[in-house]
Amino acid sequence: MRLRILLLFTLFYCKSMLFSQTTVSNPSKSDFSGTLSFLASDWLEGRGATQKGGFMASEYIASMMGLYQLVPFQKDTASGYFQDFKILEHSVKNVSLEIKKGKKIIALSPETDFKVTPIAQSIQKEAQIVFVGYGINLSKEGYDDYKNQDVKNKVVVVLKGFPGHLDSTSVTYQKFKKIFPEENDLEETKLQTAINKGAIALVILDSKGKFKPNNSKEDAVFHSLENASNTSIPVFKLTKTASEKLLSETTISLNNIEKKLAQKNAGTSTLFKNTKINFSLELQSQTFPVRNVLGMIPGKDTTKTVIIGAHYDHLGIKNDSIYNGADDNASGTSGMLALAKKWSESKVKPPFNLLFASWTAEELGLLGSEYFVQNFDFQKQKILLAINMDMISRNAPEDQTHRILSIGTPKENENLKEIATLSNSKLAKPFTLDLWETDGHSGSDYASFTAKGIPIMTFFSGFHDDYHTPRDKASKVDLDKVKDVLFIVNTSLLKFIENQHN
């Protein structure tokens, strides 16, 4: 009897340890450097989602998935590795923006005074305006710019940035920078907050006025999924001069308000009773075919899936310049393919599916990952985890040691933070980790999954001066950093699988 119990215990122990003892080699630089260089080369013309370069990139990625013997995600269709769909591009045909102060009308010009991001349909509105500081609502942090203010059917006016953003040494800056680590995510958060509060438009005031107004119709575009419901509102970004015109004859000074809000560290709002904004947008729309690229290693349990994803699109060709997008995001895409290569070569059959995903149209509004999630059959499969890699090959200017890595996870998933920390500790030279919570953020494709309550880990190595410029080239990437990031991603994946398996 004792021998039988011992045998049963031994069999159970061996089964639980089987996967944890399995090793899948971490990618070396040779596994991704060539792929990164090709994706970021002039041959692929910046991989614009709706441009020729984007389709050339998708064909290349699919060919690499075939080389690594991945199974097409949609294996029952003729699409192969491609998930084809359509998006709409809405461009501004005509736009007007007027400030009405009693009988006084100040007409602003898209040529000199503002930029506009439209919505999916033409619109004409006139409404009162409400100034709501930075347009941030963080009730859990005791900060709410909307406190005691009803903005429904009104135009919301906000400052660019966050409290204390002008002084990186201040306590206020450190507090809000930790909450909003991704700069391009902050504006989207403000927009979603304004939408949720019932505003009809968002106006952003820029005290520095560094941007260029809409000097061509190509600048003012909005993209949406075909047949998507329209839930957005137009966004107007005013230059410093135009911002001062809007605030004239009010108690708010553009030169002083940011300093006051940084010191006050509390929300503020003001209804401008004698000021209204009249705006109109006339749009024209065009349909474009686009595609995600999806390859899979089937697991023992095909009803469960872990996604390893990265967007492959970038900005394409603009004004005759190629935006190569080496860091953003040839780095993440080449890293995803390198991981696919190593897992395929290992011949390990994972406990559940590993889906290697290359998203399109991230730069146009996370549309590729959003389409995937909207069309995923959650009745047949459960997504256990979605890993996202977006910009993993460069360093922020303040990262003098080149050893800072940002990893975002949902607030409720403490085990994912523990996995990330443990994986980092196994590096010969560990990163300084910036662990942050993705709740309420939407800076990359991870947001399409958090919206569905799916656990995520998103990896990001920092913004740099070449971000979204033609200078983001393969010659500037840090291959050693990519290698170490992929070590953490792969080690975290193995640990996650081990935890699930046990």
Pick from 493, 471, 180: nearest CA to 354: 493
Mean pLDDT of 212-222: 65
| Mean pLDDT in residue range 250-276 | 82
Q: For 275-318, write each residue's pLDDT tens digit.
A: 999 999 999 999 999 999 999 999 999 999 999 999 999 999 99
Domain closes at, from 224, 255, 284:
284
450-456 long-range CB contacts below 8 Å, 24 or more apart? 450/410, 451/373, 452/373, 452/378, 452/383, 454/383, 454/385, 454/386, 455/384, 455/385, 455/386, 455/409, 455/410, 455/413, 455/416, 456/385, 456/386, 456/387, 456/388, 456/408, 456/409, 456/410
- The pLDDT of residue 62 is above 70: yes
Q: Band of the pLDDT at 11, cuts 50, 70, 90? A: very low
CA angle 288, 293, 296 (to 5 degrees): 155
Any idea which of 77-86, 330-339, 416-425 has the lowest mean pLDDT?
Answer: 77-86
pLDDT band at 175 (very low <50, low <70, confident <90, very high): confident
Where is pLDDT greater, at 3 or 204?
Answer: 204
CATH code of 353's domain:
3.40.630.10
Q: Do 142 and 119 contact (CB within 8 A), yes or no?
A: no
Among 174-188, 437-451, 455-469, the minimum mean pLDDT is found in: 174-188
Q: How far apart are CA 18 and CA 381, in angstroms?
A: 24
Residue 177: per-residue pLDDT: 81
CA–CA distances in Å: residue 449 to residues 83, 388, 462: 17, 10, 22
pLDDT band at 181 (very low <50, low <70, confident <90, very high): low
> Which amino acid, one-letter code, is at 129?
I
Residue 13 forms part of a structural domain? no
Counting the structural domains of the chain, the total is 2
For residues 307 and 442, membership in a common domain is answered with yes
In a domain, 19, yes or no: no
Query: How many other β-carbons are positioned within 10 Å of the β-carbon of residue 340?
Result: 26
Query: Is 158 a member of any domain?
Result: yes
197 and 223: one domain?
yes
Q: pLDDT-derived band of residue 216, with 50, 70 and 90 as boundaries?
A: very low
The answer on pLDDT for 13 being more than 50 is no
Confidence of residue 112 (pLDDT cuts 50, 70, 90): very high
Q: Is residue 277 part of a domain?
A: yes
Q: Are 366 and 447 in contact (CB under 8 A)?
A: yes
Please give the Cα distance from 483 to 31 (Å, whole number): 9
Average pLDDT in the chain: 90
- Sequence-separated (6 or more) residues with CB below 8 Å from residue 390: 310, 311, 328, 329, 332, 362, 444, 445, 458, 459, 460
What CA–CA distance (Å, rounded) separates 462 from 174? 16
Domain boundary pick from 233, 255, 284: 284
| pLDDT higher than 70, residue 441 | yes
Same domain, 373 and 452: yes
Tell me if 78 is assigned to some domain.
Answer: yes
- Asked if the structure places residue 5 within a domain, the reply is no
Kindly state whether residues 301 and 153 are assigned to the same domain.
no
Stated as kind and residue range, the H or E segment containing 52 is helix 52-67
Q: Are residues 255 and 298 in the same domain?
A: no
The reported pLDDT for the residue numbered 59 is: 98
Bridge partners, residue 101, by sequence: 104, 275
pLDDT in tens, 117-142: 888 889 999 999 999 999 999 877 78
pLDDT at 397 over 70: yes
* Residue 356 and residue 439 share a domain: yes
Residue 25 pLDDT exceeds 50: yes
Judge whether 282 and 56 are in contact, CB under 8 Å: no
Domain, as residue range, for 78: 24-87+289-501
Residue 359 in this model has a pLDDT that exceeds 50: yes
429 and 296 fall within a common domain: yes
pLDDT of residue 277: 96
What pLDDT was estimated at residue 340? 98
Instruction: Give the model's pLDDT for residue 267.
Output: 65
Reported as a single tens digit per residue, the pLDDT across 73-92 is 987 777 899 999 999 999 99
Instruction: For residues 123 and 244, state if they share a domain.
Output: yes
Q: Look at residue 126 and tell me if it is in a domain.
A: yes
Q: Judge contact between 49 and 313, C-beta under 8 A.
A: yes
Q: How confident is the model at residue 37 (pLDDT cuts 50, 70, 90)?
A: very high
Shared-domain flag, residues 71 and 134: no
Q: Is residue 16 part of a domain?
A: no
Residues 382 and 435 in one domain: yes
Which of 284, 310, 327 is at the close of a domain?
A: 284
**C-alpha distances in angstroms, 421 versus 292, 414, 416, 426?**
31, 11, 9, 9
**Could you tell me what percent of the chain has a pLDDT over 70?**
91
Tell me, yes or no, whether 294 and 201 share the same domain: no
- 56 and 104 in a common domain: no
Q: What is the CATH number of the domain that holds 102?
A: 3.50.30.30
Dist CA 62 CA 66 (whole Å): 6
pTM for this model (two decimals): 0.88
How is 394-412 classified by DSSP, letter by letter? ---TT-TTS-EEEEEE-TT
Nearest to 397 by CA among 347, 458, 454, 466: 466
